[in-house]
């Protein structure tokens, strides 16, 4: 199953009913996008996760996104993000 969920800094979430376009993704995260890939080892393709983040979020001083950081588990994730489940890219 393919899902796209926006995870906001304040912890609120909402589902998108489509795969976001590049432009829409940039508007949601507030800048140029970068993909952060949590550990997907051993997961089926439809279960794989990708976070779409602002590539300059740390430089811009965006606040910590605790939910996204807990998903990623490697380094802090800041700003609003899109969690893609089963999709590898936006489009």
DSSP assignment, residue 78?
B
Q: Which domain covers residue 51, as residue numbers? A: 3-85
Supply the pLDDT for residue 48.
Answer: 80
Neighbour order of strands in the sheet with 13-16: 13-16, 3-7, 81-85, 49-54, 33-36
* Cβ pair 78, 63 in contact under 8 A: yes
Could you tell me if residue 90 is inside a domain? no
How many Cα atoms are found within 13 Å in the side-chain-facing hemisphere of 87? 18
Supply the pLDDT for residue 2.
Answer: 85
Supply the pLDDT for residue 52.
Answer: 96
Over residues 6-65, the pLDDT tens digits come to 999 999 999 999 989 999 999 999 999 999 988 766 656 556 889 999 999 999 999 999
In the predicted structure, residue 81 carries a pLDDT above the cut 80: yes
Could you tell me if residue 17 is inside a domain? yes
Q: Which residue has the higher pLDDT, 89 or 9?
A: 9
Into how many domains does the chain fold? 1
Supply the pLDDT for residue 49.
Answer: 86
Nearest to 89 by CA among 40, 51, 42, 47: 51
Could you tell me if residue 91 is inside a domain? no
């Amino acid at each position: 199953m393919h899902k796209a969920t926006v995870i906001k800094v304040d912890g609120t979430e909402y589902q998108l009913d489509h795969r976001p376009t590049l432009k829409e993704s940039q508007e949601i995260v507030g800048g140029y996008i970068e993909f952060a890939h949590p550990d997907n080892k051993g997961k089926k393709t439809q279960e794989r996760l990708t976070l779409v983040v602002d590539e300059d979020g740390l430089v811009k001083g965006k606040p910590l996104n605790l939910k996204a950081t807990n998903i990623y588990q490697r380094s802090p994730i800041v700003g609003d993000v899109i969690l893609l489940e089963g999709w590898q890219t936006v489009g």
